[in-house]
Structure 1
Amino acid sequence: MKHLSRLLLFMVLLSDVAFAQKKATDLASTLNLKWETLENYYQNKTQTHAALTISTGSLPLPAKGWRLYYNSTQPMIPGTLTGDIDYTHVNGDLYYLSPGANFKGIKAHSSLRIEMVRMYWLSSVSDTPQGFYLVWDNAPAIGHPLAKSYLVPSTQPKQYMRQPTDQVTMTTPQMVYNWNQNITNVPADNLTRVFPTPESYQTTGMTFNLTGGVKVIADPAFSAEAALLKSELAKLLTPASTSTDQIKLVSKPMEAEAYELKVDAQNITISASSGVGIFYGIQSLKTLLPASAWNHPQKNIPVTGVTVADKPRFGYRAFMLDVARNFQPKSEILKLLDVMSLYKLNVLHFHLTDDEGWRLQIPALPELTAVGSRRAHSINESKNLHPALGSGPFLTNTAGTGHYSKADFIEILKYATQRHVAIIPEIESPGHARAAIKAMDARYAYYIKLNQPAKAGEYLLRDLQDSSKYTSVQYYDDNVINVALPSAYKFMETVTTEIEKMYAEAGAPLRSIHFGGDEVPAGVWEKSPALMSLMKTDTTVKNADDLWPYYYGKINHMLQAHHLYLTAWEEVSSRKVTQNGKKTSIINNDLLGKDVHLEVWNNVIGWGAEDLPYHLANQGYKVILSPVSNLYFDMAYYKAFDEAGYYWGGYADVDKAFNFIPNDYYKNTTKGRLGETLPPSFFANKERLTPSGTNNIVGLQGALWAETVNSPQRMEYMLLPKLLGLAERAWAKNPEWATVPDSTRSKQLYNEAWSRFANILGKRELPRLSYYAGGFNYRIPMPGVMVKDGQVSINTQFPGLTIRYTTNGKTPTVNSPAYTQPLKAGITVKAAAFDAIGRSSKVAVVQ
């Protein structure tokens, strides 16, 4: 009977817990949140007045016992919240609201408006708090996501203008129309059919009829490229009997990545000295094909006769993808490699680790992914990281949780190698390393429990006795590896060795590993006992600032021992010293002449370092141009509340990548990041490239940071068509408009080139991307609409897209009338652009 009583009591307790949890879940699911920006530059300061309204449903929110967690890019200013609500910063972008001492609760079917002041400004959907979930004090390990929230669009200047000097207003259909006015319609037959623009291109007037019976004949050195071509043709063509028509891949002396492509009525001949040259010739052949070729298998595909001689401008044509902040599945990385290789980009900088996630399995250190690749609500982060970037309380969120297994990574490497794309993995350090630090903390705790202290400390990344205080740009206070610890170098050596093994197993080239160097905050290491110990044994380290060159000197030496070179962010080129009692940054000469490649992002217009990439190249560093002003693809396309993306470095549409002049970007930079017109003298005292500096510009890199990229669809939207602007600038020769001294002539030539590019995208490449590699969710730009002289005129950024409209107040669909001529004014017009498969842009409305 005693055992039965205990069993019954246990069952009652379980029932009570289940009931309580169901009630908690029910309450969370019935709460409604409304967020609104009230005023930017509030009280004449760089801060925002905002409001959050919490509305209940059939259940009340009690006066105590709960916390409302959320993620936010910017903190609130303590003491500014109304409604008797307390505010707590957990770490990074994680915060929670909780009831204050005098909070009375919110009755059922009631609401509470909480006003607050936030740091900086809030202009778009990407600035708003996200990922709200409720946690009860009596069940602190369980998070209950809120199902409903609403963002009030900012429509008034005080809500979306960042500060009084902000010259960038909310984008309107009329503004878009004006932007598009210089884009003329170019007949499709007059467009270059090979993309990116080849060095030499002529049509012959002949047509090759491509069928499933075509023979692919290749020199033995090009067997891999021939096999890949055959597999791709098999997807495009229905089987047919063997014909006499041939695609020939032949060897011919020329530069390594150069190729020649000749198409006549009987043969297609691709000549090159290397497999990569042959591969690029094949990609050009693919862009000769009509977009519909990828829609479904066809009996025959006409190929325009051409003679092409081509080679790239830059040998390093890169794209960086951040999968640490928000994860992308393996299938999406393979799609990315497909589109990169189609447009002849040859380096994927794979940002695999950061504060918010470690995404690559390292077999020797399983905790890196067992802990560091997982995000969910937790009490102490012993099994996973806390939620970030709106990933919510559950491990099931695929943007927050995920990693590439060893097998996944090897598959990615093989796929990339087959397509002549080199992958440079990034192990972000010593800052932005919180995921690694927390994972090694978990390893430490595990072996301490086993009473194995030596093994516990073997890979520890922080000094347990360090009392230094710091705050990173993303508001973390524990995200920097302590590089005074010998265990930090054992960690890096082990990770490097494990990565090498995966590349070797994949048969993929590994030339460099990127070891970060970005955004290490002031204050790190200053009170570390490990630093004090190191200073006693190494005379080159006299203070915490000396740890920076000490670390990268050791990392560079380690990589050289592995026959690799160091790639890093621009900060690695400098070191801090004290001069006349003040700290200042000077060039780090220790790494000059050692084949260190720097990715330079900071040319923010108005911050003062606009000439940094040229300065570093002139000093002797190898420089990869990755400027935020033109090549950061996470910058929003334009200013609109519902246009996701950041804008701290400015707004960036595809034209920003297209019009970038690598060796003299001052020439056509006329606006600052706040939209202000720059005076003619703005760049007068800025350093310009010397001949030796020009030789140190290795190439270009586009970058997509993932704070706002939480799905494959969002990634493709931010990536395309911007990637095509990058591809054009990295491959095609320096255009005439970039070098003509006369500004009027330069502008005329640019407008002509931009029109051709826009037509190529609208009539050839975007339709192709509707089908290629399964189809991409590229961004379709909203049409421009102008009301003038009693008429409504509509245009598009990409001629070739179909503009459809309505006058009955309804949203345009694929069945709405196509716009062909101006409409009569005086009615409400809604217009949208549609692509080849019926996807729509945002709707432009004019009344």
Structure 2
Amino acid sequence: MHRRSTFPRFPFVAAALVGALLALTACTGEPDRNGVVVTGIVPAPAEFELADGSPFTLTDAARLVAVGGGARAVAETFAAPARAATGFPLPVVDGDAEASDDSTARSTDLELVVDADAALGNEGYTLVSGADGVRITASAPAGLFLGTQSLRQLLPAEIEHADATRSPDGGWLVPAVSIADEPRFAYRASLVDVARNFIAVDDVLDHLDRMALLKLNVLHLHLTDDQGWRLQIDAWPELTGVGASTSVGGGGGGFYTKDDYRRIVDYAAERFITVVPEIDLPGHTNAALSAYPELNCDGVAREPYEGVEVGFSSLCADPARAEATDRFLADVLSEVAELTPGPWIHVGGDEPLATEHDDFLDLVGRITTAAAATGKTVIAYHEMGASSELPPGTIGHYWDLTAAHEMAPNRRDEPVRPYPESAGQARSFLEQGGRLVLAPADTTYLDMMYPDRPAGPLGTELGTRWASTITLEEAYAWRPEETVEGLEESDILGVAASIWTETIETVPDFEFMVFPRIAAIAEVGWSPADARDEAGFRTRLVTLGAHLDALGVAYRKVGGVDWAE
């Protein structure tokens, strides 16, 4: 598959040469001709060129000049943490479309320009920096924000500290570069399971900041499972009254009030990240079944569950329980949709092992009909592709193994292969007018162990290995278009990196398993497929690691990367 550039009017090198340039210059860690070390950006931009001029110096005279609709909000989002890090006032001032040619323009300015005529797409941007200032241009505010995240990585890592005493000795230098950039896929997700073990609001917000740094634009929250129901539903209060009381291992529960959830959604929106809520149905529902006996075919509430097994629970398809089941679906999905401004709602569908096939098809129809009635586009795991009557345009979420999965020696006791029906179920979504989000477990499940099975930050063994173990190299080498045989690039809406929390109880545990492998998936989802360069990626991780260090992220310092000490 080859990606066609949408930046033909910029005098930058062609995409293939850009890959070489990134490998030979921006990714070597060698200083450019002005003495500023440039290790590059993660994910790699579509086009990147070191310029001949001197670097830009961010001083206390700097202004952020906002031009065009939405530019001021982006400038303020960037300026707030930068003020804390630098101690500079960094005022945001309104400019005009000719700001760069205006006599009032200053060499200390950072110009953030939204120009609808720039033809850069919703998330594309250009960034030019040098002694005469920094200018980021985009067709839409989302692209402008993503340009600021590249600027964030070009600045010294101290920019991540909320402590102005940490200013670098050499000043706040930005190398002279020219960038033209856009994403490969429109949907680039971090899937976070908050159901097995609950994750507090502030910790989710921290993760959103790290997602933004990597240009991930979807936070998929797995809100319900056998072990816990994590979102307040007014019409069914015991979903959180009883269903949120447990977690894996009996460590207590937790849930998001509607105000909590709105806070997450709003914080994400400021970073142009869309929240996709998942209510996992019809299986993985023991938390709901323990809260409401009428959802069970026998009318008896299930015991709360604190284990890690899957496939034992199911909503009831018995016609005698249809009224309760359908009311539950309509109430829950409508309340979730009302809280969620994004276009998608995820209804699960995975591992329906306790649901008879005919009952499953019946429930799929009722679940997806209720979800579509909210006005949202439905997303479902690939198992729901067993139905040929999905709402038009339903998105399939493929989580099984890659088509060419091969078990390496000693990676687990028994070999595993993709389920034979999984590929056909995935293609069913395409046949019904939908597209696919690809998240194969053997490549993108970040709860899979590292091969050397290291102890986590708190000394415990983390993760599972039912699908595989996953190295940084394997995550980076993944080719989404080869996940299911016969896929075209146009079939793929995007990719997701998933973290399931059966063994994840603390924030350091979470960060240790997620970073840096999520950076590999972010680059797979963003950067041109034909510019993949593992050596360059490893070198650019040095810069990213410095930023993660400054943020206090407890990431795994895998081998093969010259991490800062």
- TM-score computed with the length of structure 2 as normaliser: 0.80
- Residue 499 of structure 1 is matched in structure 2 by 336
1:537-616 alignment runs, 5 A limit:
544-574=356-386, 588-591=387-390, 594-603=392-401, 605=405, 606-609=416-419, 612-613=422-423, 616=426
CA 236–630 in structure 1, closer or farther in 2 if over 3 Å, else same: same
1:611-760 alignment runs, 5 A limit:
612-613=422-423, 616-617=426-427, 619-620=430-431, 621-640=434-453, 642=455, 643-664=461-482, 688-690=485-487, 693-736=488-531, 753-760=533-540
2:270 maps to 1:418: yes
Measured against aligned partners, the alpha-carbon deviations of 1:604-655 in whole angstroms (never above 9, x if no partner) come to 6342448945873485342111001110000001144744211111101222
2:42 maps to 1:189: no
Q: Tell me by how many angstroms 1:730 deviates.
A: 0.5
- Matches of 1:601 and 1:241, distance apart in 2: 45
Q: Tell me by how many angstroms 1:211 deviates.
A: 1.9
Q: Tell me by how many angstroms 1:493 deviates.
A: 1.2
- Matches of 1:407 and 1:241, distance apart in 2: 32
CA 475–308 in structure 1, closer or farther in 2 if over 3 Å, else same: closer
1:500-539 alignment runs, 5 A limit:
500-503=337-340, 509-522=341-354, 524=355
1:138-287 alignment runs, 5 A limit:
186-189=28-31, 192-205=39-52, 206-221=54-69, 222-239=71-88, 245-250=108-113, 251=115, 252-287=118-153
Q: Tell me by how many angstroms 1:241 deviates.
A: 9.0
Q: Tell me by how many angstroms 1:475 deviates.
A: 4.8
Measured against aligned partners, the alpha-carbon deviations of 1:432-485 in whole angstroms (never above 9, x if no partner) come to 1011111123xxxxxxxxxxxxxxxxxx31122699xxx9x9557962111342
Q: Tell me by how many angstroms 1:401 deviates.
A: 1.3
Moved more, 325-334 or 607-616: 607-616
2:555 maps to 1:778: yes
- Matches of 1:573 and 1:546, distance apart in 2: 14
CA 474–776 in structure 1, closer or farther in 2 if over 3 Å, else same: closer
What SS does the aligned partner of 2:546 have? helix
Q: Tell me by how many angstroms 1:340 deviates.
A: 0.5
- Whether contact under 8 Å (2:243, 2:291) holds in the other structure is yes
Q: Tell me by how many angstroms 1:237 deviates.
A: 1.4
- Matches of 1:625 and 1:435, distance apart in 2: 27
Structure 1, unaligned runs of 5 or more = 1-184, 376-387, 392-396, 442-459, 504-508, 525-543, 575-587, 666-686, 738-752, 782-795, 802-834, 836-847
1:762-801 alignment runs, 5 A limit:
763-772=542-551, 775-781=552-558, 796-801=559-564
Runs of 4+ in 1 over 6 A off after TM superposition: none
Amino acid of the structure 2 residue aligned with 1:494: D
- Matches of 2:474 and 2:417, distance apart in 1: 19
Q: Tell me by how many angstroms 1:188 deviates.
A: 4.1
CA 476–570 in structure 1, closer or farther in 2 if over 3 Å, else same: closer
Q: Tell me by how many angstroms 1:704 deviates.
A: 0.5
2:155 maps to 1:289: yes
- Matches of 1:235 and 1:355, distance apart in 2: 42
Q: Tell me by how many angstroms 1:422 deviates.
A: 0.5
Q: Tell me by how many angstroms 1:223 deviates.
A: 2.1
- Whether contact under 8 Å (2:379, 2:396) holds in the other structure is yes
- Matches of 1:238 and 1:627, distance apart in 2: 44
- Matches of 2:272 and 2:316, distance apart in 1: 37
- Matches of 1:341 and 1:644, distance apart in 2: 25
Amino acid of the structure 1 residue aligned with 2:208: L
- Residue 165 of structure 1 is matched in structure 2 by none
CA 713–474 in structure 1, closer or farther in 2 if over 3 Å, else same: closer
- Matches of 1:517 and 1:256, distance apart in 2: 31
Q: Tell me by how many angstroms 1:292 deviates.
A: 2.7
Measured against aligned partners, the alpha-carbon deviations of 1:90-126 in whole angstroms (never above 9, x if no partner) come to xxxxxxxxxxxxxxxxxxxxxxxxxxxxxxxxxxxxx
- Residue 296 of structure 2 is matched in structure 1 by 462
Amino acid of the structure 1 residue aligned with 2:108: D
Higher-RCO chain (CA-CA 8 Å, sequence separation at least 6): 2
- Whether contact under 8 Å (2:194, 2:501) holds in the other structure is yes
Amino acid of the structure 1 residue aligned with 2:233: I
- Matches of 1:291 and 1:418, distance apart in 2: 22
Which structure features the higher share of strand residues?
A: 1
Which of the numbers 314, 317, 326 marks the counterpart of 1:489?
Answer: 326
1:283-322 alignment runs, 5 A limit:
283-295=149-161, 296-297=163-164, 298=167, 300-322=171-193
Which structure features the higher share of helix residues?
A: 2
Amino acid of the structure 2 residue aligned with 1:203: L
Larger Rg belongs to: 1
Q: Tell me by how many angstroms 1:213 deviates.
A: 2.6
- Residue 389 of structure 1 is matched in structure 2 by 248
- Matches of 2:237 and 2:227, distance apart in 1: 17
The number of equivalent residue pairs is 485
- Whether contact under 8 Å (1:427, 1:516) holds in the other structure is yes
- Whether contact under 8 Å (2:557, 2:563) holds in the other structure is no
- Give the fraction of aligned pairs with identical amino acids, expressed as a percent: 29
Across the aligned residues of Structure 1 and Structure 2, the Cα RMSD in angstroms comes to 2.7
Amino acid of the structure 2 residue aligned with 1:623: L
- Matches of 2:235 and 2:418, distance apart in 1: 44
- Matches of 2:55 and 2:378, distance apart in 1: 48
Amino acid of the structure 1 residue aligned with 2:43: P
Measured against aligned partners, the alpha-carbon deviations of 1:763-791 in whole angstroms (never above 9, x if no partner) come to 2111110113xx2111123xxxxxxxxxx
- Matches of 1:493 and 1:487, distance apart in 2: 10
CA 326–551 in structure 1, closer or farther in 2 if over 3 Å, else same: same
- Whether contact under 8 Å (1:260, 1:309) holds in the other structure is yes
What SS does the aligned partner of 2:529 have? coil
